[in-house]
Chains A and B, each alone.
Chain A
Amino acid sequence: MRRRRFQTSGPALECVLRDLNQNSDWVEVGRRPLFSPQLKGSFKVASTVVGATPEHHTGGEDPNRRDFIHIAATVAAVGAAGGLAWPFIDQMNPAADTLALASVEFDLSKVETGQQVVIKWRGKPLFIRHRSGKEIASAIKDNHADLRDPQTDEERHKAGKAEWLILIGTCTHLGCVPTFGGGDYGGWFCPCHGSHYDTSGRIRKGPAPKNLAVPEYTFLSDSKVKVG
């Protein structure tokens, strides 16, 4: 490896080597006149320089000064590239203003029993569903059915507010927006690949793996919620 460098480097490297020639190892090469007629025109002649390289250089002894420079330069270059790679990757992550997560307030009195309103929150649809007594009952009845993502209905609404179901309206399969009231369980049906959700938003049939997600929200008053 090192031998070949000598072969092709010619005068340029020797300039560098001249600076290093306090190190006795280099003296032999370094002393060669920089523009000797032999070196000037022909790489073949330069290869005689290789022969001049002391043999013990190629052995695996302790790192000498040149090894040190090689290693330090490589480490610095790799470190710099690595250090730059992260900003170049991370720039694609959500920006500060996107992260300054917006919250929305919503007036529940706008939603009739048995209806749902969809609003946009953080770029996604949010389902606000005013459930009828029958829908709540059927959700509770299925608490111990064979559920893919087992949860009781109580875990999916605020205590004492069973009529209000607030969910992120993206199918947990591949993110389509399920349609209200459809499917075999009367909750939602996702048209994209046929996922059925019940009236608690739990996945019952189809390819989706999880229940519709419940966002963070609080009741500000009986008729007002703040989501986020």
Chain B
Amino acid sequence: MSGHSNYEPKSGFEKWLDVRLPIIRLGYDSLVDFPTPKNLNYWYTFGGILAVCLGIQIVTGIILAMHYVAHVDMAFASVEHIMRDVNYGWLVRYMHSNGASMFFLAVYVHMFRGLYYGSYKAPREVLWLLGCVIYMLMIITAFMGYVLPWGQMSFHGAVVITNLIGAIPVIGPAITTWLWGGFAVDDPTLNRFFSLHYLMPFMIAGVVGLHIWALHVPGNNNPAGVDVKSKEDTVPFHPYYTVKDGFAISVFLLMYAAFVFFNPNALGDAVNYVPANPLVTPAHIVPEWYLLPFYAILRAVPDKLMGVIFMGGAIAMLFLLPWLDTSKVRSMRYRPTAKLYFFIFVIVTMILGYCGGQLPDNKIIPGLTTFQVAASDLNSVVWLSRLATAYYFAYFLIILPVLGLTETPLPQPESISEPVLSHSANAPVGAAASPEKRG
């Protein structure tokens, strides 16, 4: 998409097309000849996995839309119709509902990869921001999709999340009514959510295009975090990474298939197989697993508006990250202190996910009652969420800004090739032949 091109049209047709629409050249430059750092490990295969996930969601989604009816009286029944009557409907729906989970699993790995190797730092800030936009669009898309089957969790989840907007002072309630198209979550809401759920994946696809464009200007970051210095440091994308990505995609699809065929409801909530009833809220409202950390942050804050602000702030941190991290060293391989805080951060997000799935007053250590702080027992999920929320924000707002100025990083290699070549001298035979094993 940018820079020098080595494409040479061969056949007459290719030559003819190349001066009219150089689309083969574009494909060649970005997927075949693209110079890629030679030290990319398997954490770098998740971009390709994500593209496959998006494709699967779009194809299965379009099929579901052929059989689904967006009406409060028929939505639930139409999903059951898909499950029981439509040929292979069960397969397509299980692919779609589990596909959403796989999509988020992949995006989280992809994001943690970026956090660890400093892929958000100059000159990749725009690339990172576009990724954050994709993540936000994914959240909205998945939320709206989850409303469509119109089960109990669909309905009351929609109520709770749309009511969040009502927390905005003055204009909040008007926006909520506008979003609902009525005075409660009802048929107009379901219809527009369907329309938008259909639209947004295509918006995501558009932003993915920009994301890849922004990737191909500076090129990939890499586990060493140092810039590509020469041709020595790179290999062409094809066949090296088409094969590596292809292998990773296959393994990923195996895991996905294991869910679809052997435990298709493991990641969902059984309550959503009860048709929506606006008069009764299920005893325990929880979002899908991939949104639990945000839900925990929301509930950690006792004030309604502040809860919403913190939840939004959690995503805003990602957008601000390129300017919060003051360290010039990209990869945490060479930042031992930052690495430690990073691993705590990963665990903290998982703790938040755990908390989001529990009732706020549940005990962490069963049977132990400690003392009450701010109207809740210290040994409770809500206090654990508060501590985890504090760390989440501290990581972005205190730890990364300060650490970059105070820490002493390890020496970075001169180039991507250097550690490989210098090690091979005293390493056992064959070690240098598989540098990708160094992770």
Contacts and interface: CB of A to CB of B under 8 A. Distances in A.
B156 A98 contact: no
Interface string A193-210: 110000000000101110
A207 B281 contact: no
Contacts of A145: none
A193 B279 CA distance: 17
Interface stretch (B23-31, B139-147, B158-166): B158-166
B160 to A, nearest CB: 4
Using C-beta atoms within 8 Å of the partner chain, give the interface range for chain B: 35 or more
A171 B281 CA distance: 11
A207 B283 CA distance: 17
Nearest to A190: B281
> At the interface, is chain A mostly helix, strand, loop or mixed?
loop
B278 A120 contact: yes
> At the interface, is chain B mostly helix, strand, loop or mixed?
loop
B177 A120 contact: no
Interface in A164-198: 169-170, 173-179, 190-194
Interface in B285-308: 285, 299, 302-304, 307
Contact of A95 (B161, B181, B375): B181
Nearest to A125: B279
Interface string B150-186: 0000001001111110000000000001111111111
A191 B360 CA distance: 10
B407 interface: no
A207 B279 contact: no
Given A176-B160, A191-B281, A192-B160, A98 B304 contact: no
B161 to A, nearest CB: 8
B264 interface: no
A118 interface: yes
Using C-beta atoms within 8 Å of the partner chain, give the interface range for chain A: 20 to 34
A174 B279 contact: no
Interface string A116-132: 00101011110000000
A123 B285 contact: no
B284 interface: yes
A93 B183 contact: no
A207 B181 contact: no
B177 A124 contact: no
A170 B280 CA distance: 10
Contact of B184 (A92, A93, A123, A192): A123
B124 interface: no
19 contacts: A89-B178, A93-B181, A94-B181, A98-B181, A98-B188, A124-B183, A124-B184, A124-B278, A170-B159, A175-B162, A176-B285, A177-B281, A191-B281, A191-B283, A192-B285, A194-B360, A205-B375, A207-B304, A208-B304
Given A175-B162, A207-B304, 5 more contacts: A94-B183, A169-B279, A175-B160, A176-B285, A207-B299
Interface of A: 89, 92-95, 98, 118, 120, 122-125, 169-170, 173-179, 190-194, 205, 207-209
